[in-house]
Structure 1
Amino acid sequence: MARAWTLQDAKNRFSAVVEAAQRGEPQHVTKRGVDAVVVLSAEEYERLTSLDMRPRRSLVEHVLDAPVLPAGFEDVFDDRGVYPSVPRDLDLFG
């Protein structure tokens, strides 16, 4: 389980902080009551930094790669019917 240490406690018991991190338990260290750092095992750090979190393609590239519609389908998107709006009475203060 992750544990929170004050900076002073982490300095005084650094071996315990490292051992817990090596067991797979991230160790949070605070400075003046505010989270400052997290100590991780080297294995966990390598796992996290090796992840490729970048998107493979941009949105523009994705849209430009969309398939072209077959001939005759253009009319499907251009058929915008006109829908008349009918006003109605509303009592907003009633």
Structure 2
Amino acid sequence: MLSLQDAKNRFSAVVEAALAGRPQKVSRRGKPAVVVLAAEEYERLVKAAQTQRGSFQEHLMALPADDVPRAAARPRDVEF
């Protein structure tokens, strides 16, 4: 893993490595921050995620209807 400063100093090499199929992890203040990867690989990952994910409606319809415990609270009387 490269520090941010090292990645800045060697940006061309970081890009070349990513284009060669070796994603480059970069840390900031000692913690993982970003990964530099080739645009083709990024597009492949996005496309794969989209094909695995259904629509929001499909997600809602897949939720278990009877298995979810419902609150037994009753509305309270309110005086106006």
Range into which the TM-score falls when normalised by the shorter chain: 0.5 to 0.7
Question: Could you tell which deviates more after superposition, 45-54 or 9-18?
Answer: 45-54
The gaps in structure 2 that reach 5 residues or longer are: 65-80
TM-score (norm 2): 0.64
Question: What does residue 60 of structure 1 align with?
Answer: 61
Q: Give every structure 1 segment of 4 or more consecutive aligned residues whose post-TM-superposition deviation is greater than 2 Å.
A: 55-63
Question: What does residue 35 of structure 1 align with?
Answer: 32
User: Deviations for 1:47-85, whole angstroms, at most 9, x for unmatched residues?
Assistant: 11122132363363587xxxxxxxxxxxxxxxxxxxxxx
User: Deviations for 1:12-33, whole angstroms, at most 9, x for unmatched residues?
Assistant: 0001100000011110000010
Distance 1:6 1:62 in 2: 43
Distance 1:19 1:45 in 2: 15
| Higher-helix-fraction structure | 2
The gaps in structure 1 that reach 5 residues or longer are: 64-94
Would you say 1:26 and 2:23 are equivalent positions? Answer: yes
| Count of residue pairs the alignment pairs up | 60
Distance 1:15 1:23 in 2: 12
**Which is higher, the Rg of structure 1 or of structure 2?**
1
Q: Secondary structure at the match of 1:58?
A: helix
TM-score (norm 1): 0.56
Alignment identity in percent?
A: 58
